[in-house]
Amino acid sequence: MNGHGARRTSVPPRCRHFLRRCAASWLALRRAKRLRAACCVGVPLLAAWLALALTVGFAGETGRAAGEAAAPDNGREQAKNGGGEKREEPEEMLVLQPPPKSASNGVKPAEMDLLWEYEAGGLCFLAPAEGALLAASTGGKVFALDPGSGGLLWSFSIDAWIASRPTYSEGRVFFGSTDHYLYAVDAASGQLLWRFKAMGEIITPPTCYRDTLYFICDNNQVYDLNTWVYAVRAADGDLLWCREARGWVTSAPCPGSSGIIITNYSREVTSLSPRDGEPQWSLHTVNLVFNPPLVEEDTVFVSSLGGAIQAVREADGHPLWTSSINDFIWSPILQGDQCLLLGSNSMCFYALDKRSGLERWAVNLGDSLAFPPQLDEGHIYAFTGAGKVYALSEEDGGLAACYQAEKPFPTAPVALRGSLFASTPEGKIRAYRMPVPATR
């Protein structure tokens, strides 16, 4: 049900099949390294997909309407709490409007002081680690830099493409690549500890939780866009279980206390058993879900493309509340001390109460946000593709500072203890000093 109680119309099967064929063609062209042809297919595909998502949404392979129960998976009924009880969306949906006034009017961005610069030789995805800045280049190199000086600590190279940031956990660095391997290297020396071969390309960052590594890969089939979920032991890479996930899962798995939460393009959020990967419950989302969910204590929070935020009980998927922001929410939900923090593609930032979904505060930055926001030392950092950085107070959204980098940001920067680390279009990594004054 939408905010007015009307049922959403499903996408016609012919349209769904056309989009899937286009997506499969794009994957095949990209694997064949025919980049120009892949772009010719990919751009119209993305435009058509987004247009359909914003108008009628995707109803999944069975063509069911929003709010109905999920179909059986591979001939087995998905486990649901309460003896097959259907998961329905709450009848009442809170509708929140974006703030009209820009908080950054009249604020001139300050220049950030350049601390150091490192020649990486390609576009890099950055991630913080204990005493180091990790970087993964699209050319197949993972390396660690000293965050204070920019000096190279170690480097590890593979003959494949890397499409996501590395993951750090307890002295190890994990990353996947298009050669179907998941790698683990020592965070102090960069030496290979182990590698695990999956069934397809790994293009999302793995997630480490309780000595287990969870990750997603495609199924290496051109005309089938289903994906596989893996669980391997973090210490030695031994396989614990793997399971095919219905639908196209493109975000990293999110472990919780009682399940592994995944989302897919078929408008579903599913909890998998951490023991064997069996589905425990499944809930229909309001719209497409591009971002990983957020699990905090006993609640799962999911943001849909059209601005819907859903909170469900982590143990059984029971809906708790649903809020609808009349805005285009692209970034994942950020976990604050008291609130859920969300940035939109239309210049706004929102803080919602975790228990009710009510708005705590909202601010219009007057600038389009291009990357997921980050939280560091009581401030929220929001980034634009043009290299502008906004620092907001987590308490009330007050604008604390606004900075402008010399170069635009092609990938997500990293804000860490008063410094900003960013990749540049020329293949360099730059570190800036970013002092944040008291909130206005």
Cβ contacts of 377 within 8 Å, gap of 6 or more: 417, 418, 436
The end-to-end CA distance of the chain, in Å, is: 41
The dihedral formed by the CA atoms of 192, 428, 31 and 181, expressed in degrees to the nearest 10: 10
Beta strands in 158-211 (DSSP E): 167-169, 172-176, 181-186, 192-197, 207-209
Dist CA 42 CA 333 (whole Å):
27
Instruction: Flag residues of the chain having pLDDT under 50.
Output: 1-14, 16-18, 21, 28, 32, 53-86, 88-91, 439-440
Q: Which tokens is 80 given?
A: 């649901």
The Cα 356–Cα 156 span in angstroms is 46
> How far apart (Å, rounded) are the C-alpha atoms in residues 41 and 31?
14
Q: What angle do CA 393, 332, 345 make, to 5 degrees?
A: 75
d(Cα 358, Cα 207) in Å, to the nearest integer?
30
Query: In sequence order, what are the residues at sequence separation of 6 or more whose Cβ sits closer than 8 angstroms to the Cβ of residue 17?
Result: none
The predicted model scores a pTM of 0.76
pLDDT at 58: 39
Residue 327: per-residue pLDDT: 79
Tracing tokens 């950020």 back to the chain, one arrives at 334
Phi, psi (5° rounding) for residue 342? -135, 140
- The 10s digit of each residue's pLDDT in 185-222 is 999 999 999 999 999 899 889 999 999 999 999 876 65
Residue 55 near residue 306 (C-beta atoms within 8 A): no
pLDDT attached to residue 78? 34
Per-residue pLDDT tens digits for 303-332 = 987 788 999 999 999 999 999 888 778 778
Residue 108 has what pLDDT? 78
Mapping DSSP to helix (H, G, I), strand (E, B) and coil, where does residue 30 land? Answer: helix
Q: Are 174 and 184 in contact (CB under 8 A)?
A: yes
Hunting for tokens 């210490």 — which residue is that? 235
